[in-house]
Chains A and B, each alone.
Chain A
Amino acid sequence: MNADQLLRDTLREWAEETPTPVGADLAGRALLRRSRRRVTGVTVAVAAFALLVGGVAIPVLAESDQPGYSGPGRMMDNDVSAHPGESPPRHLIAAGDVAVSAYQADRKTRKQGGAERTTYTWYLYDPGTQQYEKTDWGWVDVAPGMRRAAVLEKTLPASRVGILDMTTGKVTKWIPLEHKAGGVQWSPDGKRLVVTTYSGYPDIEALYGGEHTAPKRTGYYLVDVASGRTRYRPMDVDDSKAIVTSGRADVRWNRDGKLLLVPWPPGGAIETWYDLKGQPSKKTPSYEGWDAPPAGLSPDGRYYTVGDGWTATVKETGTHRTVGPSSIGMTLAWADSGRLVRWDCRPDHSCQRGDNERLVLTDPTGHIKIPLSGYRYSDTPQDWDPLITRR
Chain B
Amino acid sequence: MMEELEGVVEIVEVEPTEGEGFIVVEGFPDVGLVGTIAASFLADRLQMKEVGYIESDILPPIISIRNGKVLDLIRLYRKNNLIVVISEIPIPLPLIRPLSQKIVDWAMSKNAKMIISLTGMPEPARLDIDTPRVFVLGSNKKISEDALKIEGVTAFTDGFIAGVKGMILRESIRKDFNALLILSQAHFNYPDPGSAAEVLRYLSKLLSIDIDIKPLLESAEELKLRLRDLMRRTSQAMQDVQKSRELELPAVYL
A, B bound: no
A positions within 8 Å CB-CB of B: none
B positions within 8 Å CB-CB of A: none
